[in-house]
């Protein structure tokens, strides 16, 4: 079940939030600590209007909430609200008030006995959950996930604590996002989300994301898991390419972002969750290479891998940037050939671009801020090289490709070849996809050049990944 934490500062705002998201959620949490005034009559109105199970919570600051008053007055608030028609009450594990437990049971509420660790995942996590369960309640652990190893600990709960059928497991922070999306794989009864534009806790996603994009509530043990690894990774648009396409072809599959600090540990998680394949982004395109039992010709040439697939008992690496880069220019070229291309940058993306162009016997000049890196790539690929200042000496280029991270935040004001005057005949391609029209592309457009956007490449390489993952053609209407 997906539980919406109402973050409104009054009952009316909370009701509006519920109405906006009612189709996506099966429960709500009323957080008395977020209300500016706890008015019992209004809360009765809220409880009676919302026709799904409701959790009553009043969270202290030290547990990630906003209640700043004394513990005595907090428990008094809970005592006043318990009889108003809630289905659950959340009581922290250190609250030892048998009369509050008795009041909850008398009014038919189940007790969620929670503990919060805002610093990390405690080493005695499993024993603490078992202890809470022994008190006869639903145990809830909300812990800050700080690494892939922490996420592994949470996903192992499903198997380790299978004897506790009703439990709630929450992974906070960016490393915890897969734990929230795949909450069913931890054995968690439900997970939380916040109304669009608000966040009640670190890592809360909106109901649109949890329900419309990921369909988290549909995940079963049979659902095939795919994903993307990177650091950072939460800005990625790839889930919006893959998840709707899985749905369209009727495949029970989900594509999830994984913030990864250590690739070796991610491969352990991939085995634990039976992940079927994943995309790889900065900075892990080279880090995955030692774990691959088989690699494609393109990965061998480029020396980096952006797609990993399960292949019998091995992992196979392919690189869809190679063909994904070419696809949008082939559409622009309309049968013509590129004779001379200038590639700005010599990082991981440039390697795929240069090899793809050299594969078509195109002459390539690589210009990079750090000249030695340009030289190395040029020597491997039989290209020419220089520093960025060499751009002003370039003539007769059919294609100029910008492959550096200049142009994307926080470098959105930077055009790495600011002094260059486009003659208007070049095709100008920027791999940066956010923003769509970088400063570099704006200048090329003003000179009348044909533009190719990074988003076109992102989609083209994503479609190729989808086809490698599923063996199915990408749906036409989603292209
Ligand atoms: P990378 O390996 O870290 O390489 C970064 C490159 O950018 C290096 O050549 C670096 O030069 C250069 N650079 C960074 N800041 C610069 C600045 N202010 N001025 C001049 N040069 C600068 O990164 P990557 O994997 O190649 O990715 C680069 C970009 O391509 C990113 O924006 C990424 O999102 C984009 N990309 C897009 C797609 C797509 O599908 N559209 C696919 C892959 C990558 P030095 O060598 O001097 O440090």
Residues 6+ apart with CB under 8 A from 19: none
Give the separation between CA 8 and CA 43, rounded to whole angstroms.
12
Residues 343, 295 share a domain: no
Q: How far is ligand 1, taken at its centre, from the CA of residue 402, in Å?
A: 9
Residues 336, 297 share a domain: no
Q: How far is ligand 1, taken at its centre, from the CA of residue 439, in Å?
A: 15
Task: Tell me the three state secondary structure of residue 195.
Answer: coil
Residue among 63, 58, 51 nearest 27 (CA): 51
From 347, 375, 435, the mutation candidate for ligand 1 (largest count of ligand atoms within 8 A of CB) is 347
Cis omega before residue 410 (within 30°)?
yes
From 350, 404, 409, 419, the mutation candidate for ligand 1 (largest count of ligand atoms within 8 A of CB) is 404
Write out the two tokens for 125: 């996590």
Instruction: Count CB atoms within 10 A of the CB of residue 178.
Output: 24
- Residue where the block lists tokens 């600051």: 61
Residue 346 CA, distance from chain mean position: 27
Residues 293, 150 share a domain: no
pLDDT digits (tens, 9 = 90+) for 414-440: 999 999 999 999 999 999 999 999 999
Residues 382, 241 share a domain: no
Q: How far is ligand 1, taken at its centre, from the CA of residue 151, in Å?
A: 29
pLDDT digits (tens, 9 = 90+) for 391-417: 999 999 999 999 999 999 999 999 999
Ligand 1 atom index nearest CA of 285: 25
Determine the pLDDT at residue 386: 98
Q: What angle do CA 255, 257, 261 make, to 5 degrees?
A: 140
Residues 402, 269 share a domain: no
Residues 123, 181 share a domain: yes
Ligand 1 atom index nearest CA of 458: 40
Ligand 1 atom index nearest CA of 369: 47
Give the separation between CA 266 and CA 273, rounded to whole angstroms.
10
Helix %, strand %, coil % of the chain (to 5): 40, 20, 40
Residue among 462, 440, 463 nearest 451 (CA): 440
Determine the pLDDT at residue 201: 87
CATH code for position 251? 3.40.50.10860
Domain boundary among 184, 219, 254: 219
Number of domains within the chain: 3
Pairing relationship of beta strands 275-280 and 307-311 according to DSSP bridges: antiparallel
Q: CB within 6 Å of ligand 1 — which residues?
A: 282, 321, 345-350, 368-370, 373, 403-406, 408, 411, 414, 416, 431-433, 454, 457-458, 461
How confident is the prediction along the chain (479 residues), in pLDDT tens digits per residue?
999 999 999 999 999 999 999 999 999 999 999 999 999 999 999 999 999 999 999 999 999 999 999 999 999 999 999 999 999 999 999 999 999 999 999 999 999 999 999 999 999 999 999 999 998 899 999 999 999 999 999 999 999 999 999 999 999 999 999 999 999 999 999 999 999 999 888 889 999 999 999 999 999 999 999 999 999 999 899 999 999 999 999 999 999 999 999 999 999 999 999 999 999 998 999 999 999 999 999 999 999 999 999 999 999 999 999 999 999 998 777 778 899 999 999 998 999 999 999 998 899 999 999 999 999 999 999 999 999 999 999 999 999 999 999 999 999 999 999 999 999 999 999 999 999 999 999 999 999 999 999 999 999 999 999 999 999 999 999 99
Residue among 370, 312, 356, 360 nearest 339 (CA): 360
Domain boundary among 164, 185, 219: 219
Residues 102, 176 share a domain: yes
Side-chain half-sphere exposure of 431, counting CA atoms within 13 A: 26
Ligand 1 atom index nearest CA of 455: 41
- Residue of minimum CA distance from atom 16 in ligand 1: 406
Determine the pLDDT at residue 96: 94
Strand partners, 311: 314
Expressed as residue numbers, the domain containing 277 is 228-322+460-478
Write out the two tokens for 265: 């540990």
- Residue of minimum CA distance from atom 8 in ligand 1: 347
Residues 397, 284 share a domain: no
- Residue of minimum CA distance from atom 1 in ligand 1: 347
CATH code for position 391? 3.40.50.720
Residues 84, 122 share a domain: yes
Domain boundary among 219, 241, 272: 219
pTM greater than 0.95: no
Question: Which sequence positions are flagged as catalytic?
Answer: 285
Residues 354, 275 share a domain: no
> Are residues 256 and 238 in contact, defined by beta-carbon separation less than 8 angstroms?
no
Q: Considering only CA atoms, give the Rg of the chain.
A: 26
Residues 239, 214 share a domain: no
- Residue of minimum CA distance from atom 37 in ligand 1: 431
Residues 57, 203 share a domain: yes
CATH code for position 200? 3.20.20.70
Determine the pLDDT at residue 179: 98
């Amino acid at each position: 079940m997906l539980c919406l934490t109402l973050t409104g500062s009054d009952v009316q705002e909370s009701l509006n939030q519920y109405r906006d998201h009612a189709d996506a959620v099966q429960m709500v949490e009323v957080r008395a600590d977020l209300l500016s005034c706890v008015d019992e009559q209004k809360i009765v109105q809220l409880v009676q209007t919302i026709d799904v199970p409701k959790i009553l919570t009043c969270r202290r600051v030290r547990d990630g909430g906003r209640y700043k008053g004394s513990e005595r007055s907090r428990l008094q608030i809970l005592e006043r609200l318990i009889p108003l028609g809630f289905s659950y009450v959340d009581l922290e594990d250190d609250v030892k008030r048998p009369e509050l437990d008795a009041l909850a049971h008398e009014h038919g509420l189940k007790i969620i006995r929670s503990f919060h660790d805002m610093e990390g995942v405690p080493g005695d996590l499993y024993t603490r959950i078992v202890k809470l369960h022994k008190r006869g309640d639903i145990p809830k652990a909300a812990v800050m996930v700080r690494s892939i190893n922490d996420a592994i600990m949470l996903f192992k709960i499903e198997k380790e604590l299978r004897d506790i059928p009703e439990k709630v497991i929450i992974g906070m922070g960016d490393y915890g996002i897969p734990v929230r999306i795949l909450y069913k794989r931890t054995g968690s009864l439900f997970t939380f989300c916040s109304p669009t534009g608000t966040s009640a806790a670190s890592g809360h996603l909106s109901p649109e994301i949890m329900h419309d994009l990921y369909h988290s509530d549909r995940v079963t043990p049979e659902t095939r898991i795919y994903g993307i690894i990177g650091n950072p990774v939460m800005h990625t648009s790839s889930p919006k390419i893959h998840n709707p396409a899985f749905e369209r072809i009727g495949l029970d599959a989900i594509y999830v972002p994984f913030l990864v600090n250590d690739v070796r540990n991610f491969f352990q998680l991939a085995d634990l969750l039976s992940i079927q394949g994943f995309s790889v982004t900065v900075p892990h395109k080279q880090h995955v290479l030692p774990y691959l039992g088989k690699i494609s010709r393109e990965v061998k040439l480029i020396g980096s891998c952006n797609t990993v697939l399960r292949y019998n008992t091995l992992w196979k690496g392919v690189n869809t940037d190679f063909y994904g880069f070419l696809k949008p220019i082939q559409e622009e070229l309309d049968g013509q050939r590129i004779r001379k291309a200038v590639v700005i940058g010599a990082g991981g993306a440039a390697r795929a671009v240069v090899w793809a162009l050299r594969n078509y016997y195109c002459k390539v000049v690589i210009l990079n801020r750090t000249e030695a890196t340009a030289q190395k790539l040029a020597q491997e690929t039989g290209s020419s090289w220089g520093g960025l200042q060499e751009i002003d000496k370039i003539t007769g280029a059919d294609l100029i490709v910008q492959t550096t991270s200049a142009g994307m935040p926080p470098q959105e004001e930077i055009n790495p070849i600011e002094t260059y005057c486009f003659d208007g005949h070049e095709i100008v391609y920027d791999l940066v996809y956010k923003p769509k029209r970088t400063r570099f592309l704006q200048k090329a457009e003003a000179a009348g050049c044909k533009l190719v956007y990074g988003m076109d490449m992102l989609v083209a390489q994503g479609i190729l990944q989808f086809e490698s993952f599923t063996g199915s053609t990408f749906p036409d209407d989603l292209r």
